Copies of this chain bind each other. A is one copy, B any other.
Amino acid sequence: MELELQQAIEVLERTPSTLNSLLRDLSESWLVQNEGPETWSPRDIVGHLIHAENSDWIPRAQIILEHGDERAFEPFDRFAMFEKFTGKSIGELLDTFGRMRAESLRELRLMNLTPALLEKRGRHPEFGVVTLSQLLATWVVHDLGHLAQVTRVMAKQYREAVGPWTAYLPVLGR
């Protein structure tokens, strides 16, 4: 599929409610366990999404609209959430993410992006030239990839509990 703005927004606006449905009021043991050393728990992932919302998507779109490919984006720290969100409950994190996503989508709509603007070029600090359309598609895939990760991490907590059924559950081997 090519990126079509309204279809991308359909996914972006669903992510907070999907995470709410999955994680709010869930037992702590589902929320804090991960896939092993150097991997993330569902709670870490929500923290990461908040941090990305703050410093990645809309700020980078604005840099493209204002500076084109003459100014590179700020590099994005993918591990910042480990310091920033210690001690916050999952409810607080989900509330924060929901508020920030609503604000991001308000700003996105105010950009009135035309097909021509979607092809506008920016500069990634590592990849070089990218387009606004690629940035927005990445936003959507980033959401969906982290939703897949949350559910995979939760599934793996029952790796042993399923006994021989593990053979029919490919998610446990990913």
Q: A residues within 8 Å of B by Cβ? A: 1-3, 6-7, 10-11, 14, 17-18, 20-22, 26-27, 29-30, 33, 124, 127-128, 130-131, 133-135, 137-138, 140-142, 144-145, 147-149, 151-152, 154-155, 157-158, 160-165, 167-172, 174
- A85 to nearest B CB, angstroms? 21
Chain B residues positioned under 8 Å from A141 (CB to CB): 155, 158, 162, 165, 169, 171-172
**CA–CA, A59 and B155, complex, Å:** 22
Total copies of the chain: 2
Residue from A3, A6, A161 whose CB has the most chain B CB atoms within 10 Å: A161
- A1 to nearest B CB, angstroms? 4
- A131 to nearest B CB, angstroms? 7
> B165 near A140 (CB under 8 angstroms)?
no
**CA–CA, A137 and B135, complex, Å:** 39
> A142 near B164 (CB under 8 angstroms)?
no
Listed from nearest, the 9 A-B pairs whose CB atoms lie closest are A145-B171, A137-B161, A134-B163, A144-B155, A127-B164, A138-B165, A1-B157, A147-B151, A148-B151
- A57 to nearest B CB, angstroms? 12
Chain B residues positioned under 8 Å from A160 (CB to CB): 2
